[in-house]
Structure 1
Amino acid sequence: MQYAITLPADYDMRIIRHRVQSKGHLMDGFPGLGLKAYGVRERGADGSPVNEYAPFYLWVDPEAMNRFLTGDGFRGVIRDFGRPAVRHWQGLFHRAGPASGRPPGFFSRRTETVPEGADPGGCIADALARHEELATDDGVFTTSLAFDPFRWELVHFTLWADAVPEGAGESYRVLHLSAPGADALPAGRRW
């Protein structure tokens, strides 16, 4: 699951940093949450054209996602920024990488459209194979693949110990990681 809040070009991103610093720990023990990476992009940094607050979540329990979206924590997001569109996907793959013992500094998100007329199963199988290989990269904290059948997109999320490699997707700096149920996230293929 992810929502993205695009902020004005002159927005003081210290406000977001303070928000995460003062409230991020509140998700550290949220029942049913696998992990939440508090991600930001800052205009002019790490190749970003925009200021954006865009955390992403991996849920162990879909009911927990529902509780979060209708609970006090998300009401605060709505109060402060308006109600963002929340995207969620069907998980296809998740695996911790060799850097899972270090705190992640970044995550990447990349979408890949399943071409019209292509075999969706073949596209998914190819993406799964690439994620199996990616999960062995020394810089990978964890990597996940999801499927959006509404848009016919594959969505690639990878947490990196250090900078996002060229071509891995949009780069987000991780301000905090809440991972109360990371060990409970199913590993490997879910397809």
Structure 2
Amino acid sequence: MFKKLLLGTLFLCCFGSANAALISFDGNIAFHNDVVTIEFTLLNDATDVRVWTDSHMGGVNFDPIAALWTAAGDLIDESDDDDTIDPGSQTFYDAGFLLPTLAAGDYLFTVATYPNFANGDTLAQGFALDGETPIAMADWCQPANDCNEGTFWSVQLDGVDSANIPNDIPAPATILLMGLGLVGLLRRRK
């Protein structure tokens, strides 16, 4: 019984998000110069890959800047104010990319607040607001927008094989680790 449960959990952990039609991530940033990074993978050359934000909500939350990078940290493109990727969910200041073709490989998608654009063509060069003292979002007036905009961000990925936020442990893996730890404790007690 335990072996079947373990194999089932491993299957969900390893294969649960592969080839998912839509992968979503969301959260909150604390400061005006925070940058959210999402890694994603294409196992094969792909067509019609879409990655976008849908969290601006007409001014409820901050105005996002999106950038697409290779896994090595080379800038592919940067996007500001593009609501055409998913018109049903995006509002004017959302950002993202509609990629008719994208080669197999690993990529990074970053989300920052306007005007925190990339400083150059590599991720190592950082972002425009990196050197500034962090300002809590509740105390910051976003240039060209309003003060006290929300901290919520939301990213959608369509047509990718897998995605994650670096250093995040997916829930199935956490459950597996907790289960194995519990089994170890029970075995020790005997």
Scaled by the length of structure 1, what TM-score is found? 0.23
More helix per residue: 1 or 2?
A: 1
Structure showing greater Rg: 2
The TM-score normalised by the length of structure 2 is 0.23
